[in-house]
Structure 1
């Protein structure tokens, strides 16, 4: 009899042991891929432009003229203040760079050194091979050494090649640094909050396994050209998986603790915790994954790249949470929470003293609570129009000083603002003179010259397949609003030239097209994301009204966060604006991730309402989930804040928006606004489910 009963018991342990073995194999085999995404990542900004934009078509068209497809490095020499660059120095500069022709990474001859109108500076362009990769910095060092051989002048390097090198430096070591900072922050917070030694380690291992699996899948897809990865996507993927996996793990671990406190059988406790939390976890993950996949509707390639990559990360986070974590908790049992021990009070709402007090405040005056918090959110949201998303100026791209930015500023002081980054016009050869004249007559254009066959100014225009390239130098800085206005006017004028079939591209045109496309993307994607979230909430909560309230509150939280961000960016961090994609990224992350906490709360509220009635259901749901959701919010905010270690304005801005927004959502929206609203509305908030027909304080006749 003993042997027959012990056999089924041993068999019950086979599944959790098998799951642990499988995940240990995944971690050991695929874990290294978390540090290998850089091998398949590209930071070529031209690859992330709007596919249908005019500037993107220019990139393809100009390849016929740039046989070497070179990336320009602009060398700028500056004389000491109050002096001028002499003829001999100009000749020495030309000679020094000419000697570089044909060397490693320099496929063509550098241009002659040209003197600025004020006579205080020289500039020349050195063409670099586009596929240098890790060798780019070394080649630029050789160019810099040659430029510094000119006596009496200081030399700097600006232009796309220098910017690429600085970007590579900014993303250098991103895998180890970012992962270390994020995991360190998570570990410290979990140790402080849960005062347990094993639980934080188990949760972190679960998140690391999820990240390893996600990175391996993304690596394979990127290596085959199915998805695209750049430094930004790479960094966001790590943070997203670590943050989401930790959030889901905290919810499951908290439920396991409750079940373990209520019964002695840890196998039954593990099964109950998975069964009762899986719905909320999968619904939360679905909102994030589908919200990210909505980015596929974007016309910006980097937005579309983040969509599937982020969704893969979320799926892996859910798989780890619902398979590895229950198995690990089951085997550890009460030891997972050592030195703390699950007590019977942990299984009741009365065991959460702080949140019991919060619930009492809401219960005494729900209408006062939700109106005051809503008013606060509306005041903060009123500042959101102050947040400019017209792009980040070149001198603000990097948070720390970058050599390419300093060189570009030097270039702008002595040459027309658009020097080195002209507007590029591709037109029919027969109409080229008329197009050139139209360009020269455009306000804001300093000069317009066709590319010559010899590569030197004034030579015979180079015609390829009946088309000619004209470079129009902008008077204003290439990243300024004035330059974008000039490009728009330039397009209008050259498009009007008969039989020209002219198109205008270049750096400024790319910025202009990206800004317009980002605005279009927000118009299309925001409603799609909100509709996805509402539908998932309807399916989960089986109500139509509560999902509307939840979507409205997370949208209000997003606007309030933008309002605070506008004040912080302008007055504390010194940003004049944000990248055009920042509001959309912030919306997708903040709304999709923020609604997670409302899902965690309201799924538990519905469960409690079935047993205890509407009013008591809300209060019990708040008190039992308050601690774990707040912990999850703090952890997620800390993981996104880790993005600030990368010295790029784009990621710093995303990090602040998501981190602050998550904390605001966790501490105000989910803790005060939503519970107070639902209590004030009473049973009708659950319309049209059967819960809508109950008296506010009554228990329903079903369980």
Structure 2
């Protein structure tokens, strides 16, 4: 049987191999790819694709000298721009825009050569950068939306390798420390790697068959989930398998007993995570909606690998895989007082005091969320400083009161003149020029008086949308506004669905209403506290200038799904003990004592895998990884250990209301013995 399972996996991986290698080819990371189809900026991008020449790649070439530009600098700039115009098809002749202090000269450059081809866009940006070069105190930088997209794509393309290797290294280190074996850690790590490869193939299939959007963020999160969740399942299975090897002689029979013992809990927990992630399908934002299926694919591939491939390999390797701590048949593990026994004892002695103290602590931490920085701007999305960001910073300093990023307006051609006049009359507009026409639409390029992504430019965009009836307003700044608005709308829709779906799964599993409500309330409190810690760290310590608009929703979905995952292990064991007739308080402490070590190990692994994201060069990934890692640690070592256990001890049988475990067992009636005569 193990050899058959191994053969089936070889066949499955061989089938998935051609598709797994293509996942990066369908990855899209433009801001417009994240937006819903109904957004104004999405409509602008789609119509621009149908205009003569297709979508335009917009850049700004920035020439700067601290002491002021010289005549030679201006001549160099003019020559370089002329060379760029001669080598590429531009939408118009670039015109120089000098700064008032004479230190900076900018040339807006736009070309329709690449269209929607991201590789061609990157080639164009790099070609312009090859020509636009400075020296001897003259700095030349290429910025703008096109250059920013190229730099972002380069960052996302560089994530795949480092993210995978770093995650694998972190998991390997933790497994070595947990298992204390030179060989055992290799097995779950290798199985997790194969599960990740399979998930890439399945994700590519979802993209091709159902149009599921794939981004650098969603594919990275999928890898994190495969290694994090997969290693958690492996820890539970190996721990139970080790126990069974001491009671059962044959490894095959021991593994069968281990799967019967922990399999239902693993299946229930993975099902809860998958149900929570699939609720993201209700989101309107493409990036969030794509995150749900890809995250679910990661969890299910990890589940399949850890419940089939991992057992087969462990059975084939036998007991020697645990060397040097080989579990001998008939042996008894050395009894010792564990940390969780001591923690459970303190929670059992004063449950109400522990519960109140924990609630106050979580509430105080949640107040830190009020200190979260505002919406993240495009130029603040990188932890490093790529050339496009440097160019935007130079422009912001040289043109503090002027817009340097175009706003695209798409108007029906028969109303283009009226739209142009209305745009010029709109408050906050510095200039508006008619652009390309085709297919019944005309493009109008608007420059706002206020700097990009400032409150003044936002007000100008909103005024344009209000004044230009029947037209669409897009461009980089409008895309950021639509991202923020759509995220806010998605949060109000997805959060209740996640809570309801998770609650229903818990009710069905635990056959209670109180216990599921307790678990859900606990994970919501953890989410608030984790966000609060983020508010105390992101700005003051890490220097981040903004918060990703999707941070609240995505961190909520992951922390609720993954937090309830650990709650299931604890409450499921508590229910098993209660079914044996153990008193409620003792059942809660026994569940903590028996599952605490494994759950703590699993929590450390999961938190460490998400913490890998904090080493990535994108602020969005750093913030998401930090909040989830902190939330998992809070959930593992505070909420599960103290608060849920204390609440269970305090509620006693009421925690299982209205199930049959909530009712006291009927006293056993003894038949009256006849008195001897």
Q: Do they superpose with TM above 0.5?
A: yes
Deviation of 1:417 (Å): 6.3
- Give the total of aligned pairs: 666
RMSD between superposed Cα atoms in Å: 2.8
Aligned with residue 47 of structure 1, among 19, 33, 55? 33
Q: How far apart, CA to CA, are the structure 1 residues paired with 2:270 and 2:535?
A: 29
Q: How far apart, CA to CA, are the structure 1 residues paired with 2:165 and 2:578?
A: 42
Aligned with residue 203 of structure 1, among 163, 175, 188? 188
Q: How far apart, CA to CA, are the structure 1 residues paired with 2:564 and 2:499?
A: 10
Deviation per residue, 1:125-149 (Å, 9 max, x gap): 1425145544655543431232227
Counterpart secondary structure, 2:538: helix
Q: How far apart, CA to CA, are the structure 1 residues paired with 2:640 and 2:250?
A: 33
Contact 1:686 1:692 in 2 (8 A): yes
Aligned with residue 391 of structure 1, among 372, 375, 383? 375
Contact 2:32 2:41 in 1 (8 A): no
Deviation per residue, 1:87-121 (Å, 9 max, x gap): x7546534433333464xx4436632313241432
Alignment of 1:162-311 (within 5 A): 162-223=147-208, 226-311=211-296
Deviation per residue, 1:282-304 (Å, 9 max, x gap): 11111221211111111111111
Counterpart secondary structure, 1:17: helix
Q: How far apart, CA to CA, are the structure 1 residues paired with 2:437 and 2:212?
A: 36
Alignment of 1:352-367 (within 5 A): 353-367=338-352
1:38/1:73 CA distance change after superposition, 3 Å: same
Contact 1:349 1:623 in 2 (8 A): no
1:147 aligns with 2:132: yes
Moved more, 647-656 or 34-43: 34-43
Deviation of 1:615 (Å): 1.8
Equivalent residue, structure 2, for 1:454: none
Deviation per residue, 1:327-363 (Å, 9 max, x gap): 2233334323221133799989965622211121122
1:514/1:82 CA distance change after superposition, 3 Å: same
1:19 aligns with 2:1: no
Contact 1:74 1:157 in 2 (8 A): yes
Equivalent residue, structure 2, for 1:618: 588
Alignment of 1:398-413 (within 5 A): 398-413=382-397
Contact 1:553 1:674 in 2 (8 A): yes
Moved more, 545-554 or 172-181: 172-181
Alignment of 1:408-557 (within 5 A): 408-415=392-399, 419-429=403-413, 431-451=415-435, 462-465=436-439, 467-495=441-469, 501-557=470-526
* Structure 1 stretches lacking a partner, 5+ long: 1-14, 452-461, 496-500
Contact 1:35 1:176 in 2 (8 A): no
Q: How far apart, CA to CA, are the structure 2 residues paired with 1:16 and 1:246?
A: 20
Deviation of 1:372 (Å): 1.1
Deviation per residue, 1:520-557 (Å, 9 max, x gap): 10000011111111111111111111001100000010
Moved more, 508-517 or 189-198: 189-198
Moved more, 550-559 or 135-144: 135-144
Deviation of 1:66 (Å): 4.8
Q: How far apart, CA to CA, are the structure 2 residues paired with 1:178 and 1:31?
A: 20
Deviation of 1:24 (Å): 4.2
1:682 aligns with 2:652: yes
Contact 1:187 1:201 in 2 (8 A): yes
Equivalent residue, structure 1, for 2:359: 374
Contact 1:76 1:156 in 2 (8 A): yes
1:225/1:67 CA distance change after superposition, 3 Å: farther
Alignment of 1:634-649 (within 5 A): 634-649=604-619
Q: How far apart, CA to CA, are the structure 1 residues paired with 2:228 and 2:18?
A: 19
Equivalent residue, structure 1, for 2:106: 123
Contact 2:429 2:446 in 1 (8 A): yes
Q: How far apart, CA to CA, are the structure 1 residues paired with 2:175 and 2:128?
A: 50
Q: How far apart, CA to CA, are the structure 1 residues paired with 2:441 and 2:120?
A: 34
TM-score relative to the length of structure 2: 0.92
Aligned with residue 564 of structure 1, among 516, 533, 558? 533
Counterpart secondary structure, 1:199: coil
* Structure 2 stretches lacking a partner, 5+ long: 671-677
Equivalent residue, structure 1, for 2:94: 112
Contact 2:410 2:473 in 1 (8 A): yes
TM-score relative to the length of structure 1: 0.88
Q: How far apart, CA to CA, are the structure 2 residues paired with 1:531 and 1:352?
A: 39
1:463/1:171 CA distance change after superposition, 3 Å: closer
